Amino acid sequence: MTDAPLLVSLPGNALRDALGAAPDGAEIVQWDMSGPAPAERIDLVVPPYMGAAGRLGALEGVTTRLVQSQSIGYDDVPAALPPGHVFANAASVHETSTAELALALILAAQRGIPDFVRAAGEGRWAPARHASLADRRVLLIGYGGVGRAIEARLAPFEVELTRVASRARSDEQGFIRGIDELPGLLPNADIVVIGVPLTAATTGLVDAAFLAALPDGALVVNIARGKVADTEAILAEAERGRLRFALDVTEPEPLPAGHPLFALPNVLISPHVGGASTAMMPRMARLLREQIERMLRGDAPLNVVYRS
């Protein structure tokens, strides 16, 4: 008699195709969590990428060893995950793509790319001198995996970088400021990049007082979560034309059609696509294969961030 295979549920074909043949000892089934579970016990469950929290209730009554998210953020998981499950996030999957987008938004906003695109759409040749990224004072708020990836990509652009984390500390690169120091740091920032996780402490972090402390013309880039920032405060500063914004995330999300932020020339909006690149599925498949192989060996899974 042989041991039962490690049962793994995947939400669709994209991840299954990227994974290829399952490791020996594992069996793959498809379950998008919109209906009953295919078995009472599923060793490893991968929820859908988008709207996953809304489907976690389907795990009620299902025995699992690991619920493997396809996202890094998990702020909505504690309220949605039934008791008795171990939850891992997708650290290592999205950091590079999110950092790429952050740099793209910064460069586009600094070098006037939206203006050039609008002019080209009107058939106009519209040369202009815009601000460089070189020599700008960049405040990077949030120093997890995404923050470190952004830092690495900023390095060749010769910026003056100040890193901010939840608490002050030092690493091999030097000193990291604590978030309690923001009132003294914001007035000197040309560019602020927001990459913090959404927690009770960071909800509403970017409020009217935060924005008022920034100098005229500063650029605020949010690639974190929409609820980290106060949309009305952003709109007020943007409508005045005092600050510029590049937002991959908003509150609410999606931003309603016709929202005034869409029409402002000093606001650049991307629709929460930080991790949505061709790098995602191969990297997600690599993480999933590692998790399966670790479970088959009896090793602890990677990236466990919550136990319900």
pLDDT tens sequence across 75-97: 999 999 999 999 999 999 999 99
For position 3, what pLDDT does the model report?
77
Q: What is the 3-state secondary structure (H, E, C) of 242-308?
A: CCEEEECCCCCCCCCCCCHHHHCCCEEECCCCCCCCCCHHHHHHHHHHHHHHHHHHCCCCCCEEEEC
- Same domain? For 114 and 174 the reply is yes
- State the residue for tokens 């793209």: 104
Spatial separation of the C-alpha atoms in residues 91 and 70, rounded to whole Å: 9
For position 30, what pLDDT does the model report?
96
- Same domain? For 198 and 87 the reply is no
Q: What share of the chain is helix, strand, coil (3-state, %, to 5)?
A: 35, 20, 45
CATH number of the domain at 50, please: 3.40.50.720
Please state the rounded mean pLDDT for residues 33-37. Answer: 96
- Same domain? For 107 and 221 the reply is yes
Full residue range of the structural domain in which residue 36 is found: 6-93+278-307
Q: Answer whether residue 1 is part of any domain.
A: no
* Percent of the chain's residues with pLDDT above 90: 98
- Same domain? For 137 and 33 the reply is no
- Same domain? For 44 and 70 the reply is yes
- Same domain? For 247 and 300 the reply is no
**Amino acid sitting at position 185:** L
The answer for residues whose C-beta is within 8 angstroms of residue 182's C-beta and 6 or more apart is 141, 164, 210, 213
Q: What is the dihedral of CA 250, 254, 257, 258, to 10 degrees?
A: 0
For position 189, what pLDDT does the model report?
98
- Same domain? For 16 and 120 the reply is no
- Same domain? For 234 and 179 the reply is yes
CA–CA–CA angle 85, 61, 200 (5° rounding): 40
Spatial separation of the C-alpha atoms in residues 98 and 255, rounded to whole Å: 20
200 to 72, 116, 215, 228, 271: CA distances (angstroms): 17, 40, 27, 9, 24
Question: Is the predicted pLDDT of residue 41 greater than 80, yes or no?
Answer: yes
Domain count, the chain: 2
**Amino acid sitting at position 283:** R
N residues, the chain: 308
The answer for residues whose C-beta is within 8 angstroms of residue 187's C-beta and 6 or more apart is 213, 214, 215
- Same domain? For 116 and 246 the reply is yes
Cβ–Cβ < 8 Å for 202, 75: no
- What backbone torsions phi and psi does residue 140 show, to the nearest 5 degrees? -100, 110
* Confidence band for 1, pLDDT divided at 50, 70 and 90: very low
113-151 tens-digit pLDDT: 999 999 999 999 999 999 999 999 999 999 999 999 999
- Same domain? For 23 and 118 the reply is no
